[in-house]
Amino acid sequence: MNRKERIRRCIAKRAAQELRDGDVVNLGIGIPTLVNDYIPSEITIHLHTENGMLEVGPTPPPDQADPQLINASRQPISELPGASYFDSGLSFAIMRGGHLDATVIGALQVSQTGDLASWAIPGKPILGVGGAMDLVVGAKRVIVATTHQTKEGEPKLLPKCTYPLTARGEVDVLVTEHAVFRFEEGKMILVEIGDHLALEDLKSITPAEYEIHPHLKVVNRWEGLEQVWEDPVEVRG
């Protein structure tokens, strides 16, 4: 496993801890697809995939993958007992109708007021919004799982998004490799920071304005995962 993949899995593992027993959840493309591998064993989650399946199981070993059983990211998946299949119309009705307890989604940018930009970078080929707008507006909780910075070292957590918006003020929780933020009443609140990073270092790579929770948690983000850097400020997405 290379350095980039370890960072992605660090984020996915922490995002999985935001899920609650019995939740019906949609996982977006990219890092969110890895959340399925870290769902706590003591809870039951009902995973929905945008291309028309409920009760998605863990990622199968390569030699057991069914080429006709994939998620919306075209990655191999497995099915759990009781799995059901349906067309895109019903799948989007589940998303738009408020039937998802949570969605875990990636981001290009997140603003300090919980705005989300996830589908287009000006001047570059359009990624396409897909079902992201439906997910973030329809789900009861929106959990963003993303690297703290871009590959070029540019910040993703900003006072205001500069890319086209997916939705305004819909983000509830933001998980990066360095920290966890919650959004309450239009405010961004730091609730958890990795013990590999000082508060002043986090601020230096986070232009967004945020408050620090009075009971801020300092945690080992790499428990169960291999350490991936010496100087965390230099980590790139």
Q: Are 26 and 135 contacting, i.e. CB atoms less than 8 angstroms apart? A: yes
Q: Are strands 102-105 and 46-49 parallel, antiparallel or unpaired?
A: unpaired
Q: Which is nearest to 107 in space by CA: 48, 43, 172, 42?
A: 172
Active-site annotation, residues: 50
Reply yes or no on whether the pLDDT at 231 is more than 60: no
Q: When comparing pLDDT for 93 and 124, which is higher?
A: 93
Of 40-44, 62-66, 137-141, 219-223, give the lowest mean pLDDT range: 219-223
What domains does the chain contain, in order, with CATH numbers?
3-228 (3.40.1080.10)
| Per-residue pLDDT, 232 | 42
Written as one letter, the residue type at 53 is M
Reply yes or no on whether the pLDDT at 235 is more than 50: no
What is the token pair recorded at 17? 């801890």
Q: Are strands 157-158 and 109-111 parallel, antiparallel or unpaired?
A: parallel
